[in-house]
Amino acid sequence: MDIFIKIAGALQDWLMNGMGLSVTASELIATAVWALVAILFILVNLIILVWMERKLGAFFQMRRGPNRLGPAGFLQFPVDIVKVLGKEDIIPAAADKPIYKIASICAFVTTICAFAVIPFAKGMVLEDLNIGIFYFIAIGSTATLSLLMAGISSNNKYSFIGGMRTVAQMISYEIPMAFSLLGVVMMAGSLRLTDIVEAQQNMWFVIPQAIAFIIYFVATIAETNRGPFDLAEGEQELVAGYFTEYSGIRWAIFFIAEYGNLVAVASIATIMFLGGWNAPFGLTFLPPFLWFMIKVYCMIFMFMWVRWTFPRIRIDHLMHFGWKFLIPVSIANIMVTGIGIYVYRMITN
């Protein structure tokens, strides 16, 4: 499955030798092409995910789900997007127009940026940063800003409350999320995502870091604003939360960004805890890239399962749960991991 890497090498080779460009210019163009590929990757995943969400939701609720357009309703979402493109783009008269307009784009950009460091297979990574996981967390926290921008600029009370909730929720859940990943980083001894995957060839980190995995799972549900932590858009009291006023394609971009985030956090969970592209039990007949995607989709299935089963939690319970339970437990996990590593080194030396 190094076909993608070979294509990449061939393209760069052609740009340098065939077109006679300098090394810097050819690398720049190649990076741009791969960024485009990343966006396409998100969009392709989006179609599958929305279909999957609808079908799974229907399955959990004893409904049929979409079944008219295409095989098993698979074309429903592409057609929905066409519909959304044709909708009028309404901007409220009293809205803060420039901020209102760029808010949805900001949300999408942060999502794409997160994909820059995610290795899908050996060598299949846009930019193998030596601080990969740090970069991912940093980019993830800027997503808060775009939701706050949308909430405040709409000049709508429901949006405003939604925006406030988003900030409170995302900032408090970023801490346990980052702390839960720290345990893995300590065990792998590197912030580089490819190194972390390589370190899991013999044992996935989900086994020694089971508590961290659960904390990460809970915290990311809150980070991606999905049920039961979808307080920012709590339909029952806030109509649609921060994007109440958005319509047409601007609304759809928020929607795309949400699912893009879902893929990103599921990918990180796969890389950090589920061994990345490493095949389980030596089942190497499938290419590493496919193994990676299977694991990502298993994670996403879990997210959807939780979403369609649980009712929404109350905001103060959410805060208590984050600050009084998840953060202490994740700090304790770091301590135990540290002691464990120390003891292990003492024994092996």
Partner 1 sequence: MLKTQELTLNMGPQHPSTHGVFRCVLNLDGEYITKVVNHTGYLHRGLEKLAEARTYTQFIPYNGRLDYCSGMMNELAYVMTVEKLMGITEEIPERAQYLRVIMSELQRIASHTIYVASFSLDIAGFTGFMYAFRDRDRALDLIEAASGQRMMPNYMRIGGVAADVDENWFSQLQKLLDDMPASLDEYDGLITGNEIFQARVKNVGIVTREMALDIGFSGPNLRASGVDHDLRRDEPYGIYDRFKFDVPLGEQGDTFDRFVVRIKEMRQSVNIIKQAIKDIPEGPIMAKVPKVIKPPVGEAFHCIENSKGHLGFHIVSDGSTKPYRTRIYSPCFVSLGFFPIVAKGQHLMDAVVTLASIDIVLGEVDR
In the bound state with partner 1, the residue whose beta carbon lies nearer, of 41 and 308, is: 308
27: exposed, middle or buried (Cβ count in 10 Å: 0-12, 13-18, 19+): middle
Cβ 161 to partner 1 shortest distance, Å: 6
Cβ 49 to partner 1 shortest distance, Å: 18
14 touches partner 1 by CB under 8 A:
no
Candidates 311, 346, 347, 348; binder of partner 1 (CB under 8 A) is 311
Cβ 302 to partner 1 shortest distance, Å: 16
Candidates 129, 214, 315, 319; binder of partner 1 (CB under 8 A) is 315
| Binding mask of the shown chain, residues 61 to 90, with x at each position contacting partner 1 by CB under 8 A | xxx---------------------------
Amino acid identity at 62? M
In the bound state with partner 1, the residue whose beta carbon lies nearer, of 20 and 311, is: 311
For the four alpha carbons of 141, 147, 153 and 159, in that order, the dihedral sign comes to negative
Q: Which pair of tokens denotes residue 47?
A: 């179609």
Closest by alpha carbon to 126, among 217, 213, 46, 38? 38
In the bound state with partner 1, the residue whose beta carbon lies nearer, of 13 and 235, is: 235
Candidates 174, 223, 230, 245; binder of partner 1 (CB under 8 A) is 230
Q: Which stretch, 38-46, 147-155, 308-316, 328-336, contacts partner 1 (CB under 8 A)?
A: 308-316
Question: Distance between CA atoms of 54 and 167, rounded to whole angstroms?
Answer: 28
317 touches partner 1 by CB under 8 A:
yes
What is the Cβ-side half-sphere exposure of residue 103, based on CA atoms within 13 angstroms? 31
In the bound state with partner 1, the residue whose beta carbon lies nearer, of 308 and 323, is: 308
Cβ 45 to partner 1 shortest distance, Å: 24
Candidates 89, 235, 332, 335; binder of partner 1 (CB under 8 A) is 235
310 touches partner 1 by CB under 8 A:
yes
In the bound state with partner 1, the residue whose beta carbon lies nearer, of 83 and 314, is: 314
Candidates 64, 83, 87, 314; binder of partner 1 (CB under 8 A) is 314
239 touches partner 1 by CB under 8 A:
yes
> Between vectors from CA 136 to CA 297 and to CA 45, what angle results, nearest 5°?
30
> Between vectors from CA 183 to CA 259 and to CA 220, what angle results, nearest 5°?
20
Cβ 309 to partner 1 shortest distance, Å: 6
Q: Which stretch, 88-96, 99-107, 158-166, 210-218, contacts partner 1 (CB under 8 A)?
A: 158-166
308 touches partner 1 by CB under 8 A:
yes
Total residues contacting partner 1 by CB under 8 A comes to 29
What is the Cβ-side half-sphere exposure of residue 258, based on CA atoms within 13 angstroms? 21
Candidates 24, 202, 236, 349; binder of partner 1 (CB under 8 A) is 236
Q: Is 72 left (phi over 0), alpha (psi -120 to 50) or beta?
A: left
Candidates 157, 284, 343, 344; binder of partner 1 (CB under 8 A) is 157
Amino acid identity at 233? E
Q: Which stretch, 57-65, 71-79, 135-143, 338-346, contacts partner 1 (CB under 8 A)?
A: 57-65
Binding site for partner 1 (CB under 8 A): 57, 60-63, 157-158, 160-161, 164-165, 227-228, 230, 234-237, 239, 308-317
